[in-house]
Structure 1
Amino acid sequence: MSTISFRIKQKVLRELNCAAAFLLFAGVCLCLCMVTLSGCAEHSSGFIFTQQDITISVYVTPNANNSSAVAVDVLMPLTDETQTAVASLSARQWFSGKEQFQRDYTSNQDYWVLHHEYVPGIVVSPIAINLKDQTKSIIIFADYQTEGVHRFHTTRGGNMVLTLGRYDFTVVVPNTKEPGTGNE
């Protein structure tokens, strides 16, 4: 009878070890999910990440910028200092002072910028952006001939739709209440 009880004890211990291993594995998975999800909610910089890879779909109307080409810069400040330096600039100030800004700050360390130029009425590919962890915000400047700020600023990292119109541009960021305009 002792061999039978020994075998039963071994079987019970094996089943307990499997159950304990399963519970440990489930606990570790749950912890990893919680850490991952808590990191998605808000970055310490205040930038709210909805995703790391975003796209900006661009629509250029046939009469965009009074039927003239329009330069567009998508700027992503990576430090508080560069964020402060550009946050209140109009597009005209940005484009006229861009060379000095690039001398004062280091690309890919303090900021990064994507430059595009669009001809009215053309169909263009979306702008693909892989956000860096330290991104403070996204600022879009459009060099229009008309008076105005022509700047859009967001701290939400989601896909956007940029429409270049005759006198100004609009940006729609899904999951927000109101669309933005280039004249903040």
Structure 2
Amino acid sequence: MKRVLVITAAFLINGCSLFAPSVQLNTVRIDVELKANNDTPVALDFVAASDVLMLERLKSTTASQWFEQRQQLQRDYPGGVRIWSLEVVPGQLLDVSNIPLHGRKAEGVLIFARYSTPGAHRLLLQAQHSIWLKLGNREMRLLDAKGQ
């Protein structure tokens, strides 16, 4: 009986962290069109928001604002976001199966793309395990498993 109480207490104490939402993303395919972003590289940030307030803030942030304020945001809210950054070039097809954010505590994940054209250039992921991200000339979008 004492053992059951100790185990139960351990779960209650750690319960918030044990059952907190986490990044489920296992694989990412990034498909960049030949003339994407006016034929220039595109910086991508996959951003895991650690709490609901940060997620809501990021959902109203454009990619331009994100890339401009990213460092200050990390200083102001240490641990508030986890970031996986990469840069892709037109014509590139990239398959990644070792996602640095996988398993990290997060209320949600957004993708920001640094395009040279105006726009939000932001996508919100919905707990997907696998995504196919298509970067076009002026915008990005998620494709289904068939590439549609």
TM range (shorter): 0.7 to 0.9
Cα distance change on mapping 1:53 and 1:95 into 2, 3 Å: closer
Show the counterpart of 1:114: 84
Query: How do 1:1-40 and structure 2 match up within 5 A?
Result: none
Q: Does 1:72 pair with 2:72?
A: no
Query: Higher helix share goes to which structure?
Result: 1
**Given the two structures, how large is their TM-score scaled by the length of structure 2?**
0.75
Show the counterpart of 1:147: 118
1:28-75 deviations in Å (ceiling 9; x for gaps): xxxxxxxxxxxxxxx665x7x8xx451111111111101011100000
1:79 & 1:66 partners in 2: Cα distance?
Answer: 35
What SS does structure 1 have at the residue aligned with 2:26?
A: strand
What SS does structure 2 have at the residue aligned with 1:171?
A: strand
Unmatched runs of 5 consecutive residues or more in structure 1: 1-42, 180-184
Maintained 8 Å contact 2:30/2:95: yes
Q: Does 1:98 pair with 2:70?
A: yes
Higher alpha-carbon Rg: 1
**Given the two structures, how large is their TM-score scaled by the length of structure 1?**
0.61
Q: How many residues were matched structurally? A: 126
1:101-128 deviations in Å (ceiling 9; x for gaps): 111121xx32211001111112323263
1:79 & 1:137 partners in 2: Cα distance?
Answer: 8
**Amino-acid identity (%):** 28
Cα distance change on mapping 1:152 and 1:83 into 2, 3 Å: same
Show the counterpart of 2:58: 86
Counterpart of 2:70, as a letter, is K
2:97 & 2:111 partners in 1: Cα distance?
Answer: 12
Compute the RMSD of aligned alpha carbons.
2.2
Unmatched runs of 5 consecutive residues or more in structure 2: 1-18
2:106 & 2:144 partners in 1: Cα distance?
Answer: 17
Counterpart of 1:117, as a letter, is E
